[in-house]
Amino acid sequence: MKTWGQLEGEPLEKSAFRVLVVDDYQPWRRFLCSMCQKEPSLHVVGEVSDGRKAVQQAQQLQPDVIILDVGLPSLNGIEAARQIRKLAPKSKILFVSQESSPDLVQEALNAGADGYVVKADAGGELLPALNAVLRGGSFLGGRFLRSNSTAPWRVSAPGEAQRKAALSWPQREVLGRHEVGFYSDDRHLLDHLTQFVGAALSVGNGAIVVATESHRDALFLRLQAQGVDIGAAIEEGRFKMQDPLDALSAFMLNGILDEVRFEESFGGAVLSVAKVARGQYPRVAFFGECGHSLLAQGKGDAAIAMERLGNELIKKYDVHFLCGYSLRKAPDSMDPHVYQQICAEHCFVHSR
């Protein structure tokens, strides 16, 4: 697992980095700022909502990094990046946008961007991306990788040659991602879950949460506090929640996992939410605690088998899975073999 300050290369030299946030949607700016506030080394020095103001503030503030959207009023983000590159040459530029077409990403990188993250993936990729570009490297989100690997970050040396090499991904996007989080307490789990679901819903994508009642209730309140319109998302069918024991009852028969029913249950849920998700490339964020529930029942083999089936689903659907395991509530069930096997079935492991 890689965390802030632990990516490839030497530790970051500065103790504080100044961030300028540029996006025309106020709730999304609030989300980006809240993400930056999770890392003490990041200090937001300004927020603006259009391209011309972004250029002006970049010249005036000379921030270490600028988080920039593509679709901005008065001056689009790509043209703003070209101007910023001349007026604030030392500022790093990280695009965080809903747009994900390869041609547009190429244009953004050619304009001088150091990285590009799709908004639907920002919950898991924003901080690693900031870490990468502040090191002088470059970052492309997991969906743009050239291979079938779904690792969500790459760090490399800066420079025009690297930017050109980064553009050789295939035209077909990587569909899904499968991550896992091991949490020492409910606070860490809920912090991560709120970021994960909030990022998806804020840009019009869908989210499915299969979690305990206490976690569902706490998530609902946290999302409301962040300004996410939960009622509208539920009414539109973009947001669904379920208890893990109810979910397991749909595909566990006499203690054995039924593969066909598993795909019908979770695959069907993803399809129904994806149909009403908005955006050019609709994606579904799916958080689940079914594996944890199986471990709590002493069914480690079933948990591993279910994670393997999750990898089959991401080959078929544009879904971002985040599987949650509470270390505090099931310490006896998490033996080293099961832990290693579960980690092996995921492209990224979080431990908080």
Please name the fold of domain 177-351: Rossmann fold (3.40.50)
- Predicted confidence at residue 347, as pLDDT, reads 79
Over residues 263-278, the pLDDT tens digits come to: 999 999 999 999 998 8
On whether the CB atoms of residues 239 and 317 are closer than 8 A, the answer is no
Cα 206 to its chain centre, rounded Å, is 13
**Separation CA 242–CA 232 (nearest Å):** 18
**Separation CA 250–CA 247 (nearest Å):** 6
- Predicted confidence at residue 273, as pLDDT, reads 96
Over residues 181-211, the pLDDT tens digits come to: 888 899 999 999 998 999 889 888 999 999 9
Q: Strands 252-253 and 256-257, how do they pair?
A: antiparallel
Nearest Cα to Cα of residue 9 among 151, 156, 114: 156
Task: State the span(s) of the chain assigned CATH 3.40.50.2300.
Answer: 17-165
Task: State the span(s) of the chain assigned CATH 3.40.50.300.
Answer: 177-351
Residue 158 in this model has a pLDDT that exceeds 80 = no
How does the average pLDDT of the chain come out, rounded? 84
Q: What is the mean pLDDT of residues 86-105?
A: 90
What residue has token string 């971002």?
320
The H or E element that residue 189 is part of is helix 186-202
**Separation CA 52–CA 157 (nearest Å):** 30
Mean pLDDT lowest among 92-106, 145-159, 275-289, 326-340: 145-159
On whether the CB atoms of residues 261 and 253 are closer than 8 A, the answer is yes
Residue 3 in this model has a pLDDT that exceeds 70 = no
Residue 294 in this model has a pLDDT that exceeds 80 = yes
Pick one of 3.30.230.20, 3.40.50.2300, 3.20.20.110, 3.30.565.10 as the CATH number of 17-165: 3.40.50.2300
Over residues 45-77, the pLDDT tens digits come to: 999 999 999 999 999 999 999 999 999 999 999
Backbone φ, ψ for residue 254 (5° rounding): 55, 40
